[in-house]
Structure 1
Amino acid sequence: MEAHANPGTPAYQRIAATYRTGITSGELSPGDQLPTEHAIADRFGVARQTVRTGLSLLVAEGLIVARRPHGYFVRRREHMIYRPQEKSRPRPVTPEMVDRFSQQIADEGRVPSQRIEVTLVQAGPDLAERLRVEPGVPIVARRRVRFINGEPTNINDSHFPLELVKDSEIMSPAYIPRGTDQVLADLGHRQDRAIDEILVRMPTPDEIHRLGLGPGTPVAVHYDTGYTTDGRPVRCTVNVLPGDRHKIVFERSWL
């Protein structure tokens, strides 16, 4: 495993290229431990600080993780398949009703969990535009972080105009088996269409904290805004999907 580089390439870049090639070629597998900093320094004839600089590039790229004091390991990638179209499909009503995320992850043999909190936030420009409210007015945020096998996987934050849900169970952080869309319908605000918007950007500090993101990890942001028959937006859900943990899949059919 040796990457070819120009003679003038800095040593730290040669180190990064060598182990990057080993990972992308499959020579190094997820979970494999890299040689120690001392061993790499001896191999390339450089100082350990140069080794750290080279390996930090791979950490930033999401290829390896540092586990002090044990060393560096090839990152395991267990992607979640994210299907935006699933939102509009009917949910079966059963006594054991669980949300789609939990059912999907459990079916894959992994352990789902989530943390929910409800708070009032001031509508920023993005949410104000989508919910058609004045910027800065209080709206209800039902904030949720989803976990797979105890690791944070994505953010699923739903936002509602305060006057629509202030006296409903949406204001409680407890899990709602029938779902918030059905709560809205029971309140007289049934949705009959939604607009999906997906953009890719770098995460905010809050998103980095909530998801435990490493340096250089981009996120896909899925805005899902639901409308009633008369065209009123009553919900805007913001899904934040780390790029190293998700595969976005759209399914289409021709009838």
Structure 2
Amino acid sequence: MAKHTDTRPAHHRIAARIRADIMSGDLTPGEQLPITQDLVAHYGVSGQTVQRALGLLKDEGFIVGRSGRGVFVRDTPQQAIDSVATMPPARDGEPYAWIRETAKQARKGDNRILQVAEVVPPAQVRDALGLTPDGTAAIRHRLLLLDDEPAELVRSYYPMDIARGTALLDHRKIKGGSPTLLAELGYPPREMTDRVSCRPPTEEEYVALELPSEVPVLRTFRVVRSDRARPIEVTVMVKAAHLHELLYRVPLDLG
């Protein structure tokens, strides 16, 4: 069997190494990168190749150039919000849990509603909700924003017998978010299951999330169940992999 080698262009390989050092914390937020001459010597490439590598990382937002000073690691590290903490219904007067969690990190979270309708969902969603091939569900399609920048595309689906006649089908934000409304309707969230994958973005995702080239997205397929394991919400979340991490903090009972 032939030995597998990295055939990517040199500037892609260099960008990958620097990117990995930033994500691992070996290059810290605000830290200055070595000057071009030092990077040329370290990687054994031309100055043009180094500049192309740095250009990729600038496009992705990993580094920033400061006139007359050099190139620095971005000040804000990858965003990591506790996924479990966003699930409980909000208490009286509290905002949607995702917005509350972003505020803990001194970020401003918001969401923009793109679509609310009754639709025939994708096959994976139909299977999770137990629908027939032509069965319908309510969809709430949103764009989540962090500090007014696009962060995540979210499509949430709900059984029609739950959604019909409720705010789930209103083209407006839901006070406290869908977990709060579902609990008020008698369907408190009891369990969630996430399936996470990584893939290239679709055209819609590329445009809506304002992605640079060569950046994959993280796709989370979440099923939320209530009492008696009834599925009450299925959500497909897509976010830029270079800007976000998935964080799960789950108590373990090993007794």
User: TM-score scaled by structure 1?
Assistant: 0.69
Aligned equivalent of 1:161: 159
Q: Residues 99-138 of structure 1 correspond to what in structure 2 (within 5 A)? A: 99-120=96-117, 121-138=119-136
The superposition leaves residues 175-208 of structure 1 with CA deviations (integer Å, 9 ceiling, x where unpaired) of 2114323433444x51453231222221441222
Counting aligned pairs with the same residue, the percent is 23
Shift of 1:252: 1.8
Q: Give the residue type in structure 2 aligned to 1:198.
A: R
> 5+ residue gaps in structure 1?
1-8
The superposition leaves residues 12-66 of structure 1 with CA deviations (integer Å, 9 ceiling, x where unpaired) of 5687589669968967965969989xxx8xxx99696x66754566468774579
Shift of 1:212: 1.8
Distance 1:230 1:61, change over 3 A: same
Q: Give the residue type in structure 1 aligned to 2:219.
A: V
Shift of 1:127: 0.5
Q: Residues 24-63 of structure 1 correspond to what in structure 2 (within 5 A)? A: 30=30, 54-55=53-54, 58=57, 63=62
Distance 1:175 1:28, change over 3 A: closer
| Contact 1:123 1:134 (C-alpha < 8 Å) held by counterparts | no
Shift of 1:99: 1.1
Shift of 1:130: 0.7
Tell me the C-alpha RMSD between the 2 structures.
4.2
Q: 2:170 aligns with which of 172, 182, 198?
A: 172
1:201 aligns with 2:198: yes
Q: In 2, distance between residues paired with 1:172 and 1:230?
A: 27
Aligned equivalent of 1:144: 142
Query: Any idea what SS the aligned residue of 1:86 has?
Result: helix
User: TM-score scaled by structure 2?
Assistant: 0.69
| Contact 1:225 1:237 (C-alpha < 8 Å) held by counterparts | yes
Shift of 1:131: 0.9
1:246 aligns with 2:245: yes
Q: Give the residue type in structure 2 aligned to 1:82.
A: I
Distance 1:167 1:80, change over 3 A: same
Shift of 1:129: 0.9
Pick the structure with greater CA Rg. Answer: 1
Q: In 1, distance between residues paired with 2:104 and 2:148?
A: 16
Q: Give the residue type in structure 1 aligned to 2:211.
A: L
Q: In 1, distance between residues paired with 2:114 and 2:17?
A: 44
| Contact 1:198 1:220 (C-alpha < 8 Å) held by counterparts | no
Q: In 1, distance between residues paired with 2:62 and 2:80?
A: 20
1:92 aligns with 2:91: yes
> 5+ residue gaps in structure 2?
1-7
Shift of 1:84: 2.6
Distance 1:51 1:136, change over 3 A: farther
| Contact 1:159 1:237 (C-alpha < 8 Å) held by counterparts | yes
Query: Any idea what SS the aligned residue of 1:109 has?
Result: coil
Q: In 2, distance between residues paired with 1:158 and 1:35?
A: 47
| Contact 1:34 1:73 (C-alpha < 8 Å) held by counterparts | no
Query: Any idea what SS the aligned residue of 1:208 has?
Result: helix
Q: Give the residue type in structure 2 aligned to 1:100.
A: A
Distance 1:146 1:31, change over 3 A: farther
Distance 1:251 1:52, change over 3 A: same
